[in-house]
A = this chain, B = another copy of it.
Amino acid sequence: MGQAVGLRSLYCGQVSASEIGNSVTLCGWVQRIRDHGEHLSFIDLRDHTGIVQVTTDRITDIKPEYVIRVSGTVAPRPEGTENENLSTGTIEIRDVEIEVLSQAAPIPFALDDRGDVEEITRLRFRYLDIRREKMQRNLRVRAKVNSAIRRSLEDQGFTEVETPMLWTPTPEGAREFLVPSRLQPGSFYVLPQSPQIAKQLLMVGGFDRYYQIARCMRDEDLRADRQFEFTQLDLEASFITQDEIHEFVSSTMREIVSLTRGTEIGDFPKMTWREAMDSYGVDKPDMRFGSKLVDLTDILGSSGIRAFSAECVKGIKAPISEMPSRSKLDALIAKAKSLGAGGLAYFKVIQEGDNLAFESPLAKFLDEKLTAQIIEKLDLVAGDLALIVADKWEKAVEVLGAIRLELGRNGLNHDDLKFVWIVDFPLFEGLDDNGRPISAHHPFTMPHNDDFGLLDSDPLSTRSQSYDLVLNGWELGSGSIRIHRSEIQSKIFEIIGISEEEAHSRFGFLLEAFKYGAPPHGGFAFGIDRIAAIMAGEENIREVIAFPKTQSGQDPMTNAPKPVSQKILDTVGLRTLPKASKPGSN
């Protein structure tokens, strides 16, 4: 925490029993005043390191949140008054002189109990909110995340390069924040959504291993876990393969966990996208619990039972600690239907004499052999619940995956960190209105080495050299090996229906750069906000952002955004459209 210097000799949290008898000078905020009468009062003095008790007989001119400087002697607390919950709980400061450095008006909400304060009020007075122990801790966890990233990547030979904040508009301009130019009125820069193109240019420039903790801005509708501004670790390297990039990032994650949690974690498993979908029904599986999806198609698909007559039949042993109620089961069925499945079959496993049997509306359709096969495949014992969905493969795994997650995520341990790499994502994610494949990642993603032959014949089966890192069901980030040869790039543009002209207009300078000798390269990016929130044990990324915006993009503290005068708009050659006029009506 550094050494206390200046107006004080120690931080509040540093005053321990070993200081007894010493004179100290402390500075901080008055957390609480307790008047014990008979000229005896206690002041809880707070700084970012902790709270220390000050004993005094004069508190008439001191109120909560005043900033004071206290000089006095460290003494043991009277027997029986120690506070075990406080690192400074065995001592107090006596014989004090108190200097008021700043007064404080009554604060609009208490700082020791967040539960009751609306978030809008916390943001309105964010400078008070961050005095709370929890916000202090959260922001410091975030700083440690950054620090761990830099330390790890620099050790691995990566060099930080700052890429421009004032970037160039793309023709479609979707989600780009505009920045009007004053020197060229009517022209615009945009804020970067990511340094993607800049970092690929650095590879063309021979930079070999680049990283940046990059501020990015995306003008999109906000969700609970999104902000206009976000920070991402962005890296790119040349002459490497996927596996090396995974190891660069995995090492960095291990360093983050080590520095913020103090725990060491091992290697991260890898799983293909196909396997993730097949076993977890989702491309960001939460691996903290089992209940993998099991294929029952060969057992049930051709069993003649109508409910299971489908391309794919998937079952799980439900991740539950006790049998759900009837109404809970009905809710699960409703959920499965709302997700598009025809239904959800459930089978309670009961003991019948020496045998296990199913209790279910569908039990009567299953003969002994089928029952035994299912019990064996799903590894069921008495008291278990089996859940089965039959549908097209995509739908069956999606629905059962969602059911698995809903049942399994209760009571999961936030300290249990289960990382997994998902690899071999499809290159295309479907067809557009013209029947052309749509790039799943971005159009610079390299196809899988084994799948070039599929590009024409079966594009939707083509795998790519792209990968995600997943932690506890969160997609932390993604990356890919990029296309560095123009003949492959042209092929991809042709498949997705980007003409040469359009490619030039959208990516011209990158494509031009690739003409002059581009190395094989690839990279990765992950959001700092999310990983910091997970490491701090927070669900909402706003808890690890010093001055976040609301979900309507406003800052209740500064009142941004605001109108500005026409005089200012004149300098950039703009005027605002009248409120009444509709977009496009001009």
Measuring CB to CB, which residues of chain A are less than 8 angstroms from any residue of chain B? 1-3, 5-8, 27-29, 46-48, 65-67, 69, 101-105, 107, 125-131, 135-136, 139-140, 142-143, 146-147, 150, 154-169, 171, 173, 177-191, 198, 201-202, 204-209, 215, 217, 219, 228-229, 231, 237-241, 244, 484-485, 509, 513-520, 545-547, 549, 552-555, 557-577, 579, 583-584, 586
Using Cβ atoms and an 8 Å threshold, which residues of chain B touch A140?
A: 159
Contact B166 A549 (CB under 8 A): yes
Given contacts A517-B29, A574-B576, contact A189 B561 (CB under 8 A): yes
In Å, the complex CA distance between A229 and B191 comes to: 12
Contact A572 B178 (CB under 8 A): yes
**A581 nearest CB neighbor, chain B only:** B573
Contact B575 A48 (CB under 8 A): no
A210 CB, min distance to chain B CBs, angstroms = 9
Using Cβ atoms and an 8 Å threshold, which residues of chain B touch A237?
A: 6
Contact B198 A546 (CB under 8 A): yes
Using Cβ atoms and an 8 Å threshold, which residues of chain B touch A1?
A: 157
**A184 nearest CB neighbor, chain B only:** B561
**A517 nearest CB neighbor, chain B only:** B104
- Residue among B5, B162, B567 making CB contact with A215, cutoff 8 Å: B162
Copies of chain A in the complex: 2
Q: Is the contact region of chain A dominated by helix, strand, or loop, or is it mixed? A: loop
Using Cβ atoms and an 8 Å threshold, which residues of chain B touch A215?
A: 162, 165, 215
In Å, the complex CA distance between A259 and B444 comes to: 37
In Å, the complex CA distance between A168 and B191 comes to: 16
Given contacts A159-B139, A579-B186, contact A166 B101 (CB under 8 A): no
In Å, the complex CA distance between A238 and B564 comes to: 34
Given contacts A8-B239, A102-B485, contact A161 B179 (CB under 8 A): no
Using Cβ atoms and an 8 Å threshold, which residues of chain B touch A484?
A: 101-102
**A69 nearest CB neighbor, chain B only:** B239
Contact B143 A159 (CB under 8 A): yes
Using Cβ atoms and an 8 Å threshold, which residues of chain B touch A208?
A: 47-48
Given contacts A150-B150, A574-B574, contact A187 B562 (CB under 8 A): yes
- Residue among B104, B143, B150, B517 making CB contact with A515, cutoff 8 Å: B104
Contact B516 A187 (CB under 8 A): no
In Å, the complex CA distance between A8 and B566 comes to: 59
Using Cβ atoms and an 8 Å threshold, which residues of chain B touch A239?
A: 6-8, 27, 69
Using Cβ atoms and an 8 Å threshold, which residues of chain B touch A48?
A: 206-208
Using Cβ atoms and an 8 Å threshold, which residues of chain B touch A198?
A: 546-547
Contact A557 B229 (CB under 8 A): no
Using Cβ atoms and an 8 Å threshold, which residues of chain B touch A562?
A: 168-169, 187-188
Contact A191 B204 (CB under 8 A): no
Given contacts A48-B206, A154-B147, A553-B184, contact A166 B228 (CB under 8 A): yes
- Residue among B127, B178, B569 making CB contact with A205, cutoff 8 Å: B127
